[in-house]
Amino acid sequence: MTGPHPTAPGADELRALTRAFLDAHPPATTDRTDFLRARFDAGLAWVHYPAGLGGLDAPRALQAVVDAELAAAGAPDNDPRRIGIGLGMAAPTLLAYGSDEVKRRFLKPLWAGEEVWCQLFSEPGAGSDLAALGTRAVRDGDHWVVDGQKVWTSSAHLARWAILIARTDPDAPKHRGITYFVCDMTDPGVEVRPLRQITGEAEFNEVFLTGVRIPDAHRLGEAGDGWRVARITLMNERVSIGGARIPREGGMIGKLAATWRERPELRTHELHRRLLDLWVDAEVARLTGERLRQQLVAGQPGPEGSAMKLGFARLNQAISGLEVELLGDEGLLYGEWAMTRPELVDFTGRDAGYRYLRSKGNSIEGGTSEVLLNIVAERVLGLPSEPRNDKDVPWKDLAR
């Protein structure tokens, strides 16, 4: 999208539309799912989306006007943490590259939380170097037949649909032989296996695809141009991970600051100095996130989201490490190391030991910190690219 429609509603009109919607659908007496579906149909889901697809072609910044009116009325939300992959990664890609039929089919149940989404990108041999992926998709009439393995797939055990990239032309260089699909996770050829983490839980999964048939109508973008489509997903993913809106002293730094205030016997001058440094870093990151979200009003996220996600990982790990150190022997305690399949990652509702262990994954998920450093260096700072000897070599000829 290039910007709001010339006749898009302003703040006052959106406020009036929202109040009229609430009068017609009182939150206290309207079924939650019915309320969310109706909100989508009214264009109040994400106001910057096109009319008929949950929006009103309005400026993105005006979503806050709608959200404030709905929150004041006690309206239900769509449990955004549970469906974060759908909202933050799948939806922008569907909007940018999906056919009209695809947009109409998927966006409404996605936004209303009726269908959970996951992301089938990383593979055992293609994580940091995602473009080296080897999952194959072969054309068979009006379908593609997919075989391969994906890994580190959050929410695959809950998902109804997945965004998937697969190799469709092994004779092309690795970035140019990839195609992007929507995959049905209920297909009998899809097998989901849990991956147990250092926390004891299995929020991630490995996914095996055997003869999975995907209709060509569920292809996003042109065949062989999937890397271009995937970049939209990846940029939105990094913004959704590292650029979430939080209040001052929210998130991990809030837990550390609360422990500091509540436990004066744990304090030392050295720990105090380190806490202040991290508090300032957290506030800088929060304000940078606000600026990034303002930039999003003008269009798609850029490589700046990689810098935000990079900072988020480093900050979380430093804060959780200081929290464990501050607590001393207590910091070594761990609530329950149990094999569970959580729906959500809960950093703030758990103990310090969980936060310390789980934050180690922040520098891997959504793009490793090493890859993000390259993106920031090349696309933000304008530094020379690293030598890439495989750039123009057919994928089938690459050493694996």
Q: Which residue is catalytic, options 206, 237, 304, 323?
A: 237
78's CB contacts (< 8 A; 6+ apart) are 36, 87, 111, 112, 113
325 is catalytic: no
Q: Please tell me the distance from the alpha carbon of residue 390 to that of residue 166, in angstroms, as a whole number.
A: 19
Residue (of 334, 97, 120) closest to 229 by Cα position? 97
Tokens of 39: 């909100």
* Range 317-322 contact pairs with CB under 8 angstroms and sequence separation of 24 or more: 317/359, 317/360, 317/362, 317/363, 318/278, 318/281, 319/252, 319/253, 319/256, 319/278, 319/282, 319/359, 320/252, 320/352, 320/355, 320/356, 320/359, 321/356, 322/256, 322/271, 322/274, 322/275, 322/278
Contact 216, 223 (CB under 8 A): no
340's CB contacts (< 8 A; 6+ apart) are 200, 201, 202
Contact 27, 76 (CB under 8 A): yes
Catalytic residues: 237
